[in-house]
């Protein structure tokens, strides 16, 4: 019998009543509950069992308060039959690429784990509204939680997009995990600057089979946006509030995940989203204008870049260690207007003499680096530190990887870092 995660008193209780994980059970305690017995984490206490109710939520029940438990069903969960929508020749074509993440995940009721299990075609078929907006071709590029994605994955995504640049697709959706979505959005924004189609990176804060999931609405809004927009570029399309009334389309180099779990976790830094999707309308931010760059893909990254957050007590030897480890660039998250303590100056000077690029962003959420205001900022400028305006630190990191991977030397890299390529530096 399967009793994953249960031990001690709770394990004895389940064995005594011949209940195992995955069984549909009815429990009498302070009220009557019906649901599927879920596994527990390895280090959970032994006083409770976990039940998934029919509404999709989990509850914990203290075994000492259970007066009766019985098995309603021992049948295993059957695999759903996927019904694929019929193509409508009158509708535009969209490519949906899946890379994994919560949006492409569902709960395995036998194990309780959330796993990247849905394919791109299953995502498409599970949201029937999509077939009324566009004909969607689907493809699984890889199936990974986004914390596992590396610059090598960015290259694969960008190369796949490059092959679609002159295709019949109106736009491209990327189903992506939210944890590193802003990094991928920035990577595509630089490597595919001027891409002639709109791209929507879409995620979900809650898996597709939860009643509070934001997956379907985000996908529907992204599809509507791609079909109706006249703006090309890379966007992150996610809830704009905790309710279901608006979905925001954030520009790919100006977006950041600012909450661990809320459905509107993503925000445009330094302004408002480029577009808002409300039902069937697309509202454009009047201050947003996408750059009109010629499409000249540069799909290469060098990950020998360190993002270093300054704090009181930061050991300057870390810069020497980075240099000795083969790093070619350091992006500082400085304090305020772009400062680090004078204890770092000698190490910065040594790094510059060895040819490292050192850029300065601010650890403040909003605002512009201005290193001419105080003596400490001017000292850093004299050491060769490059101010990066109001570039988001994570965006600056990705841009430095991209510039390092495509520049012939450090001087060309510096020129690329100063150039405003994809609105990474905004007014």
Class of domain 8-73: mainly beta
- pLDDT given at position 325: 97
Q: Which one is catalytic: 46, 108, 179, 209? A: 179
- Please indicate whether residue 224 is annotated as part of the active site: no
Q: Which residues pair with 305 in a beta bridge?
A: 329
- pLDDT given at position 190: 98
- For residue 285, the tally of other CB atoms under 10 A from its CB is 16
- pLDDT given at position 77: 44
- Please indicate whether residue 257 is annotated as part of the active site: yes
* Rg, the chain, Cα only: 25
Class of domain 305-418: alpha beta
Instruction: For residue range 353-385, list pLDDT tens digits in order.
Output: 999 999 999 999 999 999 999 999 999 999 999
Closest CA to 36 of 50, 16, 48: 50
Sorted by where each begins, the domain ranges of the chain are 8-73, 93-284, 305-418
Give the separation between CA 203 and CA 253, rounded to whole angstroms: 17
Tokens of 272: 């408002």
Tokens of 411: 């001087």
Lowest-pLDDT range of 44-53, 157-166, 196-205, 235-244: 44-53
Give the separation between CA 193 and CA 180, rounded to whole angstroms: 20
Put residue 240 in one of left, alpha, beta given phi > 0 → left and psi -120 to 50 → alpha. alpha
Q: What is the mean pLDDT of residues 391-414?
A: 97
Taking a C-beta distance cutoff of 8 angstroms, is the pair 200, 185 a contact? Answer: no
Measure the CA angle with vertex 6, ends 3 and 10; round to 5°: 110
Give the separation between CA 304 and CA 405, rounded to whole angstroms: 9
In a 3-state reduction of DSSP, which class is residue 421?
coil
Q: Does domain 93-284 have CATH number 3.40.50.1170?
A: yes
In a 3-state reduction of DSSP, which class is residue 211?
coil
Instruction: For residue range 183-229, list pLDDT tens digits in order.
Output: 999 999 999 999 999 999 999 886 555 545 677 899 999 999 999 99
- pLDDT given at position 321: 97
Q: Which residues contact 361 (CB under 8 A, 6 or more apart)?
A: 331, 332, 333, 334, 338, 369, 388, 391, 392, 393, 396
- Please indicate whether residue 178 is annotated as part of the active site: yes
Taking a C-beta distance cutoff of 8 angstroms, is the pair 281, 264 a contact? Answer: no
Closest CA to 402 of 325, 342, 328, 315: 328
- pLDDT given at position 42: 59
Question: What mean pLDDT is reported for the chain?
Answer: 89
Tokens of 32: 């009557």
What is the full DSSP assignment across 316-358? THHHHHHHHTT--EEEEEEBTTTB--GGGHHHHHHHHHTT-EE
Q: What is the mean pLDDT of residues 118-132?
A: 73
Domains 93-284 and 305-418 share a fold: yes
Q: Which residues pair with 331 in a beta bridge?
A: 307, 359
Q: Which one is catalytic: 170, 197, 224, 257? A: 257
- Please indicate whether residue 229 is annotated as part of the active site: no
Q: Which one is catalytic: 99, 137, 138, 178? A: 178
pLDDT over 80 (residue 123): no
Distances (CA, A) of 350 to 1, 210, 269, 342: 63, 53, 33, 14
Taking a C-beta distance cutoff of 8 angstroms, is the pair 361, 393 a contact? Answer: yes
Instruction: For residue range 143-172, list pLDDT tens digits in order.
Output: 888 999 999 999 999 999 999 999 999 999
């Amino acid at each position: 019998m399967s009793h994953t995660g249960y031990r001690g008193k709770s394990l004895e209780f389940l064995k005594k009543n011949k209940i195992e994980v995955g069984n549909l059970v009815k429990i009498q305690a302070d009220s009557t509950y019906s649901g599927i017995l879920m596994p527990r984490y390895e280090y959970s206490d032994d006083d409770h069992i976990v039940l998934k109710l029919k509404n999709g939520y989990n509850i914990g029940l203290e075994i000492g308060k259970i007066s009766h438990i019985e098995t309603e069903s021992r049948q295993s969960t059957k695999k759903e039959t996927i019904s694929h929508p019929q193509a409508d020749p009158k509708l535009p074509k969209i490519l949906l690429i899946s890379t994994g993440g919560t949006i492409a995940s569902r709960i395995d009721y036998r194990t309780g784990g959330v796993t990247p299990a849905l394919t791109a075609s299953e995502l498409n078929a599970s949201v029937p509204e999509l077939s009324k907006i566009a004909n969607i071709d689907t493809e699984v590029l890889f199936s990974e939680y986004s914390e596992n994605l590396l610059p090598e994955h960015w290259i694969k995504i960008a190369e796949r997009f490059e092959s679609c640049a002159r295709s019949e697709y109106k736009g491209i959706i990327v189903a992506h995990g939210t944890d590193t979505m802003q990094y991928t959005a920035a990577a595509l924004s630089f490597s595919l600057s001027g891409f002639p189609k709109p791209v929507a990176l879409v995620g979900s804060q809650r898996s597709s089979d939860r009643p509070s999931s934001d997956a379907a609405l985000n996908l529907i809004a992204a599809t509507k946006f791609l079909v109706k927009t006249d703006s090309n570029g890379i966007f992150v399309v996610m809830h704009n509030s905790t309710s279901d009334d608006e979905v925001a389309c954030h520009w790919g180099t100006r977006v950041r995940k600012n909450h661990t779990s809320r459905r509107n976790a993503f925000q445009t830094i330094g302004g408002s989203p480029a577009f808002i999707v409300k039902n069937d309308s697309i509202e454009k931010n009047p201050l947003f204008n996408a750059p009109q760059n010629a499409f000249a893909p540069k799909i290469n990254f060098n990950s020998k870049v360190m993002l270093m957050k300054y704090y009181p007590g930061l050991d300057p030897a870390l810069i020497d260690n980075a240099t000795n480890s083969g790093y070619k660039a350091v992006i500082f998250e400085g304090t305020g207007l772009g400062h680090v303590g004078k204890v770092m100056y000698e190490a910065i000077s040594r790094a510059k003499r060895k040819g490292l690029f050192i850029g300065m962003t601010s650890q403040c959420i909003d605002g512009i680096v201005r290193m001419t205001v105080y003596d400490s900022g001017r000292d850093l400028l004299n050491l060769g530190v490059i101010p990066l305006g109001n570039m988001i630190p994570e965006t600056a990191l990705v841009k430095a990887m991209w510039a390092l991977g495509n520049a012939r030397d450090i001087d060309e890299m510096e020129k690329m870092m100063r150039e405003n390529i994809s609105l990474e530096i905004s007014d």
